[in-house]
A and B are shown apart, each in its own frame.
Chain A
């Protein structure tokens, strides 16, 4: 764009301007073109990645969602067939339910805990850096297979929790991970346990609030509660919003924990059949690639939809004070 404009302006001014000055725009046009080329050179890997790894496969999966494809042999165009089958798929609906329950309980709990602890730590605790690290560590480990294994033991029929409950006199406690009513709960606990990452972001946000606001409010006679509601909360809404969007997107993609805790089945009774786990089973268990692609697109639409709603709703509660 720039190069084009500059070249045109050079051509227009050429007749009335003296030769030496006419040279300059042309040279800078050359420079812009060289810069263009250099930029595309630096971006070459990214362009190839876009074509073959991200955007390309995104479109390809839309195409495959209208086909019947099992990796072996050809794919046949089947129109809306896969989407039609989804409507009659009870496991799909239970996967959606499991995922929604998980997202809409674990994310608010996790963020509430993160915010509460950030507020406490922000009041100036001795050894803040240590606390921050200790709380942050589970965020780094939480998604790993090893932690899921730990969870499977801790919440197992004769795991740590029931051992402690036994000492407290509670007999016949259920095997939490193997009971359809509680298995999902253990994974919600696991996600809440990883509140450290949003907490660190909240802490950084709290640090950004200018102290003069608090001082001015104190001078005007506002108590701690008023200062919290009228200064801290509004100033923090952009951070709350940011964490909310990010954690919802993350939570929708939960896979590892459910896979390990249920040995890949999503059991007991599909109570930990997360959407992504079911997608994996259809795509890479039964190699129903067409159906898995249709599921993938539904996931994209759901996540995109929630993100869009989040952004639209943010107008009404997020405060951007400049």
Chain B
């Protein structure tokens, strides 16, 4: 199961010649030079792409936390005209493949002059278009006792204060799950970043890796694998830190 991953990690410390000669998990010659070579192999040093990815991911997380929790509060706690219909539409958008809507999105964003900026990757999150997380939070908020809202209302709280001071603090587990999944998915996302980011200074890690692999000849596999390890590192870190939330999250909603 983990052999390919471990082999990748081991190989990132092997000289390229050894990668193609020995399948072992312990490097015969331990060399960190793949990392230093890979770091500077592209037009910008690798931390430039890491930083771009970090900006996109941070924006996406903040966007999802705000947009999805607001929508979820309305669906879970408020009565309004058209609620059933809108909820059904929201569920349907979960199943909507990105490929079906990418062309008009691209046209819209190019009209707005947003191509080659991070905005097409962040603003949609703020607009609660990740139905998964709206659904996840609706399910969670429905499980909170309604008496709390009512007590707050009797104390004179409006909906905004109930949302901010009662519901949100109690929804921390759902918010954490959302943040972790948003991190991993956005960090790994390739399709929309490939389409919306067009110049090397805006490239995120996956797009930069793609230009790396296309330019790679036999001799630079070591540096390429090293940078791939760097790309997987943060996901692995989040996985270790947030396992509890991740496993609970998929077990309850089935997302992956």
Interface residues of B in 57-90 (CB under 8 A from A): 66-67, 70-71, 73-75, 78-81, 83, 86, 89-90
What range describes how many residues of A lie at the interface?
35 or more
Q: Which residues of B contact A215 (CB under 8 A)?
A: none
Tell me whether A56 and B104 are in contact in the complex, defined as CB-CB below 8 angstroms, given that A36-B80, A71-B110, A163-B21 are known contacts. Answer: yes
Interface string of A292-304 (1 = CB under 8 A from B): 1100110110010
Q: Which residues of B contact A296 (CB under 8 A)?
A: 99-103
Chain A residue with minimal CB distance to B69? A42
Q: Which residues of A contact B221 (CB under 8 A)?
A: 153
CA A140 – CA B249 in complex, angstroms? 13
Majority-rule SS of B interface residues: helix
Q: Is the CB of B8 within 8 A of A150?
A: yes
Interface residues contributed by chain B, number (CB under 8 Å) = 83
Chain B residue with minimal CB distance to A282? B103
Q: Is the CB of A149 within 8 A of B225?
A: yes
Interface string of B204-219 (1 = CB under 8 A from A): 0110011001100000
Q: Which residues of A contact B195 (CB under 8 A)?
A: 280, 284
Q: Is the CB of A145 within 8 A of B231?
A: yes
Tell me whether A140 and B235 are in contact in the complex, defined as CB-CB below 8 angstroms, given that A253-B99, A256-B190 are known contacts. Answer: yes
Residues of A within 8 A of B (CB): 1-3, 32, 35-36, 38-43, 45-46, 48-50, 52-58, 60-61, 64, 71, 132-141, 143-147, 149-150, 152-154, 158-160, 163-164, 167, 193-194, 197-198, 200-201, 203-204, 242-243, 246, 249-250, 252-253, 255-256, 259-260, 263-264, 276, 279-280, 283-284, 289, 292-293, 296-297, 299-300, 303, 307
29 A–B contacts, CB within 8 A, in A order? A40-B74, A46-B67, A46-B129, A48-B127, A54-B96, A54-B129, A57-B102, A60-B104, A61-B103, A136-B247, A138-B1, A139-B256, A146-B209, A146-B229, A146-B232, A149-B228, A150-B4, A159-B20, A163-B20, A193-B1, A197-B256, A198-B256, A200-B247, A203-B251, A204-B251, A204-B252, A249-B95, A256-B191, A280-B195
15 other contacts beyond A43-B75, A50-B93, A276-B99, with CB at 8 A cut-off? A49-B67, A50-B129, A71-B110, A133-B247, A146-B209, A279-B99, A280-B191, A283-B103, A296-B100, A296-B102, A296-B103, A299-B97, A300-B97, A303-B97, A307-B95
